Structures are given as structure tokens and as C-alpha cells.
Amino acid sequence: MSRSILTTPSPSRRLVLAAALLFPVWTSSAPAAESAAPGAGATMTAVRFHDYGDATQLRLEQAPRPVPTSTQVLVRVRAASVNPYDWKFREGRLRAFVPAKLPFTPGVDFAGVVDAVGAGVTAWRKGDEVYGFVGPDATGPYAQYVVAEPPNLARKPAAMSFEEAAGIPVAALTAWKAMFDLGGLDPAKAQGRRVLVNGASGGVGLAAIQIAKNAGMHVTAVASARNQALMRGYGADVTIDYRAQKVETAVKPPVDLALDAVDLATAAASARVVKPGGVLIAMNVTPRPPEVPACTARDGGLRCQQLPNFRPAAGTFAQVARLVAEGRLRMTVGAVLPLADAAKAQDLSKQGGTPGKIILRVD
């Protein structure tokens, strides 16, 4: 199956602007080495679901250990990130577009230690501490082991925990794709541009604040009162408590781009503060009339785009990893649960309100 962080596809009339990704590319300096992976028949502890449904479908059980090809890396997972996609997929919301091969192991991004590498892998060796994300057809990291493509891995900073590192890839790549690939902003020429992030205390929001600030942009961040200090700590220039102020009256002057990570109502409010010719990127909904009246696609008007998935352009993850390595991109871990509590973790994600990322610790 194809594993992409998906929402219902937007109408064909939506507009997409490509970004020029101009930051230098960061690469691993690990020396080449080859190590043997366990053969077919080896097992591992994993969380899987055998049918679509609620969180009770998730089972902690023994499953086949993935075997890397000659060009892949086998990683012993230490932490796995929980994303809204995980429970949406488990509930069957996306099966018309991305059918699962059951039983299915959820998850996308993770951190761990390289256990073995294929004969053709030169960037990584056994024992390297890494973080990254799985390919579209790979077994997910709600498990002791996962295979990944070498470009989808980055070296974990020694001072960063496995839990924090696991929470970075999908959040950061989603924010990058929203602002630069789809939003049309050029990270090398974004100095002084104004960005609104609605729902800014979650993983994507916190990543967006940092990525925007690293590109020299002015950031207005929206979340609840208890997360105002958190957003300021991540670099937001202006913070708004959505319960105390209305976005459409509090944001001045208009912004070049709004990234909305909440729902239709907040997308409509965000759209009202985008300047003519600006862009609204909505993560969870299709922004169009009548719910979002400003998204008319008229010439010179607001351009609206639903974010279809997090999958990055070639080289983007290396640029994200460079920011992490330089200490300019980090992540708050709002909750850590053991792998056995995956159902509880997914329910917590569905409930919302946890700052940063929810992480599963894998022993």
C-alpha cells in the first residue's frame, strides 16, 4: 500500500506553486559498512490492526521482522511518533484512496539505532543513532524494527533524545511543504514575509514557527492561552489566544501566507487575514466556498490549497536535518507512552490538545 499522510483530495481547480529549495544539503558523514540482517522467519514485537475500526483493533503481538534489501537500512526502533494519520487510517477514512494490506503496522516517523545495512548502503553503519521516516510501502514503526531508505534517515544529535528526534520528521516536512512547496515562498528570499500559523502548539505548528523564523519571516502564532509561552519560546513574534481574540481582527497587517492546522472554521478565519494574492494552506480540510468564502480562485485573489501529504521533494529532509544538527529545529514532546499503550496514544492524538508530539517508547 502507499503510505502518505493524506486527507481527502482537493478539487482539481486548486492551485499549487512550486518552491525553490535553496538551502545547502546536509548529508551523513558515517563511513561505509555492511552488516548482515536477520533472515526471513525472524520476529519482533509490533502493534498491528487486522481490521479497520476503533482503537481496540490495535494488538500488541509478534510479527515478521522486516528484511532490508541491498539498498535499505534496518533500524532498531527506540521511539515512534504518533500522527493523526495513524488513527484516521486505522478507522478506514482513507481506504478508498490508500487501501491497507492487513494486518497493518501503523506509524511513519521514528528514531532508533541502525541494526543492519544492505550491501549497497554506504552512508550508514551498524550502531548509528538515527531518526527518519518510512517509505510509502514500508511496515510502520509501531514495532521493534523498521526498514528505511538511506536518504530518509538523518543522524540524531547526541544531545537529543530518541523521543524528541522521532517527533521531528513528519511535522517538519509537513510545515516545509506547506510554506515552500505549496505556498510558493522561497526560503532564500523570504526575509520579512509574514506568516500566520493557526493551531501552532502542535507538532506541525511548532515546526512551522521555527522553519519560518530560520528563513527570516515574521510569524503570528495562534493557540490556547496555556500555550502562549510555548509558542514564544519557539520564536513566534506575535501570539494570539483564540479564546480571547478573534484572528480576523487581531492579525494586522495582512499576511502573505496562512497555514491552518485546525478545521474549516479556523481556515475561514485565517483566510480573512491573508492579503490579496496571498496563500492559504489548510491541513485538514478542503478550503473552498461556501465554508471559506475567500477561496474563490479569482485572478488576484486568495489562492487556497489543501495539503495532500507530507511526502517531501528530493533533498528536503537533508535541509530539515541540517537545521536540527545546527540546533535550529527542535520539538516539544507532550506525552510519552509505552508501545503497549498505542491505542491510548492514538486516542490522545484524536482528542487533541497535547502540545508538540505524542511519542511511543519502544523497548
Give per-residue pLDDT as tens, 278-332: 999 999 888 888 888 888 766 567 889 888 888 888 899 999 999 999 999 999 9
- Looking at residue 16, what is its pLDDT? 31
pTM for the model: 0.87
Pairing state between β 73-82 and 43-49: unpaired
| Domain boundaries for CATH 3.90.180.10 within the chain | 43-168+331-361
pLDDT at residue 46 greater than cutoff 60: yes
pLDDT one-digit tens code per residue, 59-70: 999 999 999 999
| Domain boundaries for CATH 3.40.50.720 within the chain | 170-306
Pairing state between β 153-155 and 58-64: unpaired
Report whether 262 contacts 244 (CB < 8 A): no
Report whether 247 contacts 185 (CB < 8 A): no
294, burial (CB in 10 Å: exposed 0-12, middle 13-18, buried 19+): buried
Contacts of 90 (CB under 8 A, 6+ apart): 49, 52, 53, 55, 57, 58, 106, 346
- CATH architecture designation of domain 43-168+331-361: Alpha-Beta Complex (3.90)
Q: Does domain 170-306 have CATH number 3.40.50.720?
A: yes
Report whether 58 contacts 90 (CB < 8 A): yes
| Rounded-to-integer distance, Cα 298 and Cα 277, Å | 10
What is the rounded average pLDDT of the residues 195-221? 98
Report whether 236 contacts 195 (CB < 8 A): no
Report percent pLDDT > 70 for the chain.
88
Give the pLDDT band of residue 19 (cuts 50, 70, 90). very low
